[in-house]
């Protein structure tokens, strides 16, 4: 269950601007290193553009901009549950209004802290964002109850690529995976992953993934912390059946997600905290 809570939004500093997108308010963060955009609906990161580079995130032009529907693209927050075993699907966080409660600019980064306007009955959640020449997203959870709470979650990151079936993912070699498109059967990744058909896999993996993209001549690094699962997803031809996704545009993303799934479910004792983190950065593939 969720309940109203008294949280007050702060006044925006000059380096943050706001604008409307449909029924949602977007915040744009401007720094010397990069620009960043986040929706207050769902605390949903939508765009991250390092200076001199293309956006690292993909955001559907058909995304719904209305309350009650999740936003397609960017980094949806799947919390306090991930995938089909939750109600609503992927949890409540991405379907709630959030507010900005802290913002600071230092010599090293711009920092934001967002909290939902509704609170879970026992779990407290917040999203911390660090913006500089890399993007850091930290999803903080704390058990305020008197019993152990189990948690699955994901930072469901849509990365922008030249073509999803013309990239290579390194860092997963030798990892066990659960193939959700093949009745949950298990396998072991052999070598570099070259997606060529629809993919929905949970890798038992706690390290970094590199997305090698010759079409954009760049490497996207997906680093993470407090995550024992990495999810890789693309719907391939099924994109045409998804209402908020254009099949031609869908050629240009791949999801690589820092997660805690049923393979590494988090058990929070009373008073305990957990911070799921992903760090996104890019560099040239060929100098």
CA distance 97 to 116: 6
Q: Please, are residues 170 and 210 in contact by the beta-carbon 8 Å criterion?
A: yes
How far is 128 from 139, CA to CA, in rounded Å? 6
Whether 9 has a pLDDT exceeding 90, the answer reads: no
What phi, psi does 84 have (nearest 5°)? Answer: -75, -10
Q: How confident is the model at residue 2 (pLDDT cuts 50, 70, 90)?
A: very low
Mean per-residue pLDDT for 98-127?
A: 95
**Residue 6 reports pLDDT greater than 50:** no
- Region at 167 (left for phi over 0; alpha for psi -120 to 50; beta for the rest): beta
Report DSSP state, residue 239: G
Question: Two tokens at 26?
Answer: 């977007």
173 vs 2: CA distance, rounded Å: 41
Burial class, 284, CB count within 10 angstroms (exposed 0-12 / middle 13-18 / buried 19+): exposed
Q: In this predicted structure, what is the pLDDT of residue 3?
A: 42
The pLDDT, as a whole number, for residue 8 is 54
Q: How far apart (Å, rounded) are the C-alpha atoms in residues 98 and 247?
A: 30
Mean pLDDT of all residues in 260-280: 97
- When the pLDDT of each residue in the chain is averaged and rounded to a whole number, the result is 95
pLDDT at 219: 98
Candidates 275, 271, 286; CA nearest to 226 is: 275
Pairing assessment for the beta strands 158-160 and 253-260 based on DSSP bridges = antiparallel
HSE-up of residue 252 (Cα within 13 Å, Cβ side): 18
Provide the pLDDT for residue 14.
95
Q: Does the pLDDT at position 279 exceed 50?
A: yes
Nearest to 45 by CA among 153, 158, 121: 158
Does 125 or 8 have the greater pLDDT score? 125
**Residue pLDDT, tens place only, 152-177:** 999 999 999 999 999 999 999 999 99
Q: Are 116 and 98 in contact (CB under 8 A)?
A: yes
Q: What is the pTM of this model?
A: 0.95
Model confidence at 247: pLDDT above 80:
yes
Instruction: Write the DSSP symbol of residue 57.
Output: B
Helix (H) or strand (E) holding 236: none
Q: Is the pLDDT of residue 10 over 80?
A: no
In 3D space, the residue among 189, 190, 186, 202 whose CA is nearest the CA of residue 255 turns out to be: 202
**How large is the C-alpha radius of gyration of the chain?**
18
């Amino acid at each position: 269950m969720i309940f109203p809570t008294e949280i007050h939004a702060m006044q925006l500093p000059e380096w943050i601007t706001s604008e409307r997108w449909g029924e949602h308010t977007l915040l744009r963060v401007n720094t010397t290193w990069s620009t960043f955009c986040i929706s207050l609906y769902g605390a949903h990161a939508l765009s991250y553009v390092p200076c001199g580079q293309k956006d690292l995130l993909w955001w559907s032009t058909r995304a719904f901009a209305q309350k009650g529907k999740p936003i397609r693209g960017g980094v949806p927050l799947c919390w306090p549950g991930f995938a089909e075993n939750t109600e609503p699907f992927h949890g409540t966080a991405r379907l709630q209004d959030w507010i900005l409660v802290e913002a600071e600019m230092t010599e090293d980064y711009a920092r934001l802290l967002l909290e939902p306007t509704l609170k879970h009955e026992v779990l407290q959640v917040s999203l911390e964002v660090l913006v500089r020449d890399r993007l850091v997203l930290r999803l903080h959870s704390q058990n305020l109850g008197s019993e152990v709470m189990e948690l699955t979650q994901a930072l469901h990151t849509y990365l922008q690529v030249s073509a999803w079936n013309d990239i290579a993912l390194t860092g997963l070699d030798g990892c066990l995976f659960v193939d959700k498109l093949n009745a949950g059967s298990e396998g072991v990744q052999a070598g570099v992953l070259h997606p060529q058909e629809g993919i929905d896999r949970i890798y038992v993996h706690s390290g970094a993934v590199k997305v090698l993209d010759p079409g954009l001549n760049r490497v996207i690094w997906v680093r993470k912390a407090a995550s024992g699962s990495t999810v890789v997803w693309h719907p391939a031809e099924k994109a045409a059946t998804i209402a908020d996704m254009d099949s031609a545009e869908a050629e240009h993303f791949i999801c690589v997600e820092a997660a805690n799934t049923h393979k590494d479910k988090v058990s929070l004792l009373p008073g305990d905290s957990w911070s799921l983190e992903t760090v996104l950065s890019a560099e040239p593939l060929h100098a």
